[in-house]
Structure 1
């Protein structure tokens, strides 16, 4: 029987505190910096869920939002709000995924999003000054 051995692995990283969350920053490896994004993870997750729910409806997995809400064990209104995100102008979705400046006014999510993409662009918050 052999004696138990332990291995220590050291990973150099830094933890940066941002409002409401911590970010792990890895060092450069082989002269290549890690890919960073300023995308809001909550917004990206909401968009992904909205498109997932829309795909399930399109494929016929569920006949209605109510049926989907019961199966997914979430509120019907929550699914409805996420499905509205699929109607956003493509450039607003791209801004959100790429971490652009204020792609979507958060107040738009809780209300009915206008179907006209020009109205969506006009309702967008002005970019923050840096």
Structure 2
């Protein structure tokens, strides 16, 4: 039997086609994972008083020196810690819309927001 290039090409193509259409074995099932206790990361320690004072000083660039605004941005003086915390949490969650405060609040942990609110309610009279 004489094999020509054309015949060889057909045979090679048929063998490759046959390989491509053969069913493959299903993937092996993953090994069962043993039940483990949930890993809970420890809560971050509360910020130091110096860190809180530094965080609050960032507020003064928009809300005025010592939280007393001279413009249209609300002053921070005269609100208690609970009011400040509710507003900060509202900004962080997106419940209170804002272009700037939402971004600021999302940058702080819940413990930091609470410390900032306590500073505002206690020190900005």
When normalised by structure 2's length, the TM-score is 0.20
Q: Is the radius of gyration larger for structure 1 or structure 2?
A: 2
When normalised by structure 1's length, the TM-score is 0.20
- As a proportion of its length, which structure holds more strand? 1
Q: Which one has more relative contact order, counting CA pairs under 8 Å at least 6 apart? A: 2
